Structure 1
C-alpha cells in the first residue's frame, strides 16, 4: 500500500550505536517504509553505517556521531565506567538535537524515527522514539526508578513511542517493555522486529553444529571472542563464528573446525541460521527477537554487568525459551547442557509494524497525554 500523499514524505531513520542491535532492527523498519513508498534517509556512523549501506545501497546517508560507549573489562567496574561516560552521553544528546534542527533546514525531512537516540526530536516535524526499554534495569531499585523518570523526560519530547514487543502478557521483554507506568506519550507495540526470515538450507551451504554470534561494545566483545575461539579448539563439531565487525578487513584465524567471518549480510545470516543446530550469542534484545522468530535453540551469555541482558536471559530461561550462563561459567560442559536443555519455544508470527507505519503521526499537533 503506497502512501496516499501526492508529495511522498521523507523519513530520517537514525539508530543508536550501542552495539549493532539498534541498527539491525531498523532494517525491517526501513524495508516497510520503502514498501509504503516513503523516501528514507539514514543517519549513522562506523559499523552501523557500513551495515545499512550494505543492506540498502540505493538510499541517502548522513554521517552522525554516535554515543561511542565503552564497557569495562570487569563486571564490577561497569556501573562506574558508564557513570564516567554520562557527560559524554549528555553532550551527544545535545549535539544530535542541534544537528537535527540544522538538517531540517537543509533537507526535506518531514519525520524522524529515532532508535534510542534521545536528542533526535524537533518541534518542527513529528518524531518517533523506538525502544524496548521503557524500564531500564539497574542494580538498585531506587536507581531504576530514577533512571525511568529521566528516560520518560526524554521520551516525552517525541510524538509517539514504538516498542518492538507484543502487547499483553504474552511478550518477550517482560518488565523492560511492560512497566507498571507508561510514558506520557502514545505507546505502540509493533510486535517483534527482525531483518531475518526462515529459509530452507541451500544445497551447497555448510552445516554447523554451533553458530557463535558476537556483538556489543568493546572490550567485552573481544573478551568473549577469545573465549569462544578457545572453546572451539576443544570441540569436535563444526562451528561458525561471526565476529560482529561490519566493514573490518582484519583476518582472524580459528581452529580447523571453526570458520571465522567478520560480518554477514542479512541474506547470508539467514543461511547461517538455517544451517546451524544451536546458537550462542549475547542476550541483546534484537538478537533475542531474531532467535525467537526463527525458533532457534540458543545459549545466551549476557554481557557482564549489563543488567538488561542479565534480566532478559534469566526471564527467557524461566520460560524455557533459551538456556543461559554467565561469561565466567561458559565451558564445554555448558555447551553440552544447552544441547540437552528442554526448550519450549514460543510461536511469534505477525507483527504490528505495518499498522504502526500507517498510523504515523504526520500532523505535528502533539498527541501526548500530558
Structure 2
C-alpha cells in the first residue's frame, strides 16, 4: 500500500547521458514517483532525454548541458580521452548546478534524484544520488577517481545503490566499499523489465548500446559475424531516432531502437542475449532470468570488471570485441545465467527522504 502524500511534491529526476543505461534504469523510479503521488520532472540531454520523452510524453522535461563524453576510437586511449574532456565536463557540472538552483524556485522543486550527474544537487532540498560505482575503475588511477567520486557523493542527503549489500551481489567491488562515511542505501537491482512466460520467437537477441564510435564498431563486426549463425536473430542497434525502422535481412530482423514495452516482449521471446556488460543491462538480464554473452566496451574498465566477475562466478561468459566470433556463443550452455537476484523495492521507505525537513 502506498502512503498518500497529499502535498504532491515535485521531484526533479536527472540521469546522465552516457549510453542509455542511466536513463532506462530511471524509468521504474519515474513510474514509482507517479504511483506514490509525486510529480516528476525529467532533466537530461541528448539521446537519454530523447528516450525518456518517448517513454513519458506527458511529463515535463528540461534540458541540461552535455558532459561531452566521447569514447576513443582505440581502447588504449579511453582514459586519456576522458581526461582531455575533463575541462568540458567540469564546466557542464558547474553550469547544471546553477541551472538546478534556479529551477528549484521556478518549478517549485521539493526534491532531487540525480543518476550520476554531479552538478544536479542542492542544499535547499533533499538530494539523492544514484550510482552503482562507489569505486570508479580507471586502472592505475582507480584510487584517485574513486576518492573524487566519493567526495561528490558525500554532499548528497542519501546515495542509492541499485544492488544488494549481501553476497552474492551484482556489482562486487564497484558497489561495495569497506569503510565509508557516505549515507548509503542499498535498494536492490533496478529494472524496467518483467519476466513473462511466452513462446520463443528468436534464438538470439543482439542489443547494442553505449556512446560512439564503439557502438558502430560493434554493429559492423556483428553484422559480419551473424552471417554464420543458424537461427532466428533480432538485432536492436540502439540508435534512438524519431521513427522506428524495421528491416528483414534473411534470418535477421533489424530495429534501430525499441521502446520499453517492445524490448520487454523481445527479451522474453529470445533464448539468448548478446550485449554489452553495462550494469543496467546486467540488472535487466537478472530480472528476466536470462542466459547471455557479454562483449564489454573496449577500454571501459567498469564493463570489463563486470564481465570478468560474472564469468568467474560461472554466470555469464564474455569475449573482447576484437576476439569475438559467433562460435563463442556455444560457451553459454555451460554457464548458469543470471537468475538468483530477486527483490522488491520498498518505494514508500525510499521516498520518505523527501518527506523530511532538509
Q: TM-score range, shorter-chain basis?
A: over 0.9
**Any idea what SS the aligned residue of 1:241 has?**
strand
Kindly indicate whether residue 324 of structure 2 is the aligned counterpart of residue 330 of structure 1: yes
TM alignment of 1:39-118, pairs within 5 A: 39-118=39-118
- Change in 2 beyond 3 A, CA 1:361/1:250: closer
Deviations 1:304-334 (A, max 9, x none): 0100000001101111221111111110221
Q: How far apart are 1:49 and its partner, in Å? A: 1.7
Please give the alpha-carbon distance, in whole angstroms, between the structure 1 residues aligned to 2:28 and 2:192.
Answer: 5
Please give the alpha-carbon distance, in whole angstroms, between the structure 1 residues aligned to 2:242 and 2:6.
Answer: 42
Kindly indicate whether residue 178 of structure 2 is the aligned counterpart of residue 185 of structure 1: no
Please give the alpha-carbon distance, in whole angstroms, between the structure 1 residues aligned to 2:233 and 2:42.
Answer: 34
Kindly indicate whether residue 342 of structure 2 is the aligned counterpart of residue 342 of structure 1: no
**Any idea what SS the aligned residue of 1:42 has?**
strand
Please give the alpha-carbon distance, in whole angstroms, between the structure 2 residues aligned to 1:248 and 1:56.
Answer: 15
Deviations 1:143-199 (A, max 9, x none): 2111111111111211000000011222100000012233x3311011010001012
Please give the alpha-carbon distance, in whole angstroms, between the structure 1 residues aligned to 2:239 and 2:223.
Answer: 16
- Change in 2 beyond 3 A, CA 1:309/1:23: same
Deviations 1:47-103 (A, max 9, x none): 212211222222111122231311011111111111111111111111110110111
- Change in 2 beyond 3 A, CA 1:32/1:249: closer
Number of aligned residues: 358
In structure 1, what is the equivalent of residue 173 of structure 2?
A: 175
In structure 2, what is the equivalent of residue 368 of structure 1?
A: none
Please give the alpha-carbon distance, in whole angstroms, between the structure 2 residues aligned to 1:36 and 1:251.
Answer: 36
State which of 340, 343, 354 in structure 1 corresponds to 2:347: 354
Please give the alpha-carbon distance, in whole angstroms, between the structure 2 residues aligned to 1:281 and 1:46.
Answer: 22
Q: How far apart are 1:267 and its partner, in Å? A: 1.0
In structure 2, what is the equivalent of residue 197 of structure 1?
A: 194
**Any idea what SS the aligned residue of 1:334 has?**
helix
What's the Cα RMSD here? Answer: 1.8
- Change in 2 beyond 3 A, CA 1:2/1:210: same
Please give the alpha-carbon distance, in whole angstroms, between the structure 2 residues aligned to 1:99 and 1:166.
Answer: 33
Q: How far apart are 1:248 and its partner, in Å? A: 4.9
State which of 131, 144, 150 in structure 1 corresponds to 2:148: 150
Asked if structure 1 preserves the Cα contact closer than 8 Å seen for 2:4 and 2:37, the reply is no
**Any idea what SS the aligned residue of 1:324 has?**
coil
Q: Normalization by structure 2: what TM-score?
A: 0.95
**Any idea what SS the aligned residue of 2:102 has?**
helix
Which blocks of at least 5 consecutive residues in structure 1 are unaligned?
366-370
Asked if structure 1 preserves the Cα contact closer than 8 Å seen for 2:114 and 2:130, the reply is yes
Kindly indicate whether residue 265 of structure 2 is the aligned counterpart of residue 268 of structure 1: no
Q: Which structure has the higher relative contact order (CA within 8 Å, separation 6+)?
A: 1
Higher mean C-alpha displacement, 225-234 vs 296-305: 225-234
In structure 2, what is the equivalent of residue 245 of structure 1?
A: 239
Please give the alpha-carbon distance, in whole angstroms, between the structure 2 residues aligned to 1:155 and 1:226.
Answer: 38
Please give the alpha-carbon distance, in whole angstroms, between the structure 2 residues aligned to 1:122 and 1:358.
Answer: 17
Please give the alpha-carbon distance, in whole angstroms, between the structure 2 residues aligned to 1:49 and 1:138.
Answer: 27
Higher mean C-alpha displacement, 234-243 vs 346-355: 346-355
Q: How far apart are 1:236 and its partner, in Å? A: 2.1
Asked if structure 2 preserves the Cα contact closer than 8 Å seen for 1:248 and 1:262, the reply is no
Please give the alpha-carbon distance, in whole angstroms, between the structure 1 residues aligned to 2:87 and 2:176.
Answer: 29
Please give the alpha-carbon distance, in whole angstroms, between the structure 2 residues aligned to 1:320 and 1:29.
Answer: 31
Please give the alpha-carbon distance, in whole angstroms, between the structure 2 residues aligned to 1:30 and 1:363.
Answer: 20
Higher mean C-alpha displacement, 125-134 vs 152-161: 152-161
Please give the alpha-carbon distance, in whole angstroms, between the structure 2 residues aligned to 1:231 and 1:254.
Answer: 17
Deviations 1:242-297 (A, max 9, x none): 11112255868674111110111111111111111100000000000000111110
Which blocks of at least 5 consecutive residues in structure 2 are unaligned?
none
Please give the alpha-carbon distance, in whole angstroms, between the structure 1 residues aligned to 2:272 and 2:23.
Answer: 24
